[in-house]
Amino acid sequence: MGIFDIIKIPKTKEYFLMLLNKKGKLYLNKIDEKRSESKCLKIVRKTILKKGKLQINFYNGNNMLSDKNEYKVGDSLVLNLKDRKIVKHLKLEKGATVYLTRGKHIGSSGTLEKVLKSSKNSGNNLVEIKIGDKNIKTLKDYIFVIDEGTT
């Protein structure tokens, strides 16, 4: 089990979403049945295969093939769990709702304000995120674009 995995308890027909608390520990957040039908997956790598097919690799080790090359590393896709079709494309761009999966503000969600350019030496991209009434800077790798109302 990992972050954003969905658990169904058959006897009670209850559904839970696995999230991180402020200390980085996994916990279960109760969700409704409709929300349990789809899953948000962060794109961590793309590979062009033979015959021009695009393989999209997700944070959890899963992958899928696509004919479209409109998805970027860092974006998230919402997939229907029954047929593995893409329901929504969530772009890593200004105004996106993001969830922090590592760092000092782990388990928090906020709005992406801007992607800052990295220095030549560090190679890490920084992002500025608005959480509540304050802006923070963190590494781009630490954020996960989510659909509004996910957490």
The single residue listed with the structure tokens 């769990």 is 81
30: in domain: yes
The encoded tokens of residue 22 equal 């402020």
pLDDT level of residue 118 (50, 70, 90 thresholds)? low
The single residue listed with the structure tokens 């559904």 is 15
pLDDT level of residue 115 (50, 70, 90 thresholds)? confident
pLDDT for residue 1: 83
**Which domain-ending residue is among 90, 109, 131?**
90
Examine the domain organization and report whether 43 and 26 are in the same domain: no
Q: Looking at residues 63-90, what average pLDDT do you find?
A: 91
The pLDDT tens digits for 85-107 are 999 999 999 999 999 999 999 99
Examine the domain organization and report whether 121 and 135 are in the same domain: yes
Examine the domain organization and report whether 16 and 31 are in the same domain: yes
Q: Tell me the CATH number at 46.
A: 2.40.50.740
pLDDT for residue 2: 87
The single residue listed with the structure tokens 């590592």 is 102
Range of the domain at 133: 97-145
> Domains in the chain: how many in total?
3
43: in domain: yes
Give strand pairing partners of 87: none
User: Do 151 and 109 touch, CB atoms closer than 8 A?
Assistant: yes
Give residue 147's Cα distance to chain centre. Answer: 9
9-to-12, 49, 50 alpha-carbon distances in Å = 6, 39, 42
Give strand pairing partners of 131: 134
The single residue listed with the structure tokens 């896709």 is 77
Examine the domain organization and report whether 58 and 48 are in the same domain: yes
Examine the domain organization and report whether 101 and 82 are in the same domain: no
1: in domain: no
DSSP code at position 21: -
Separation between Cα atoms, residue 91 and residue 45, nearest integer Å: 15
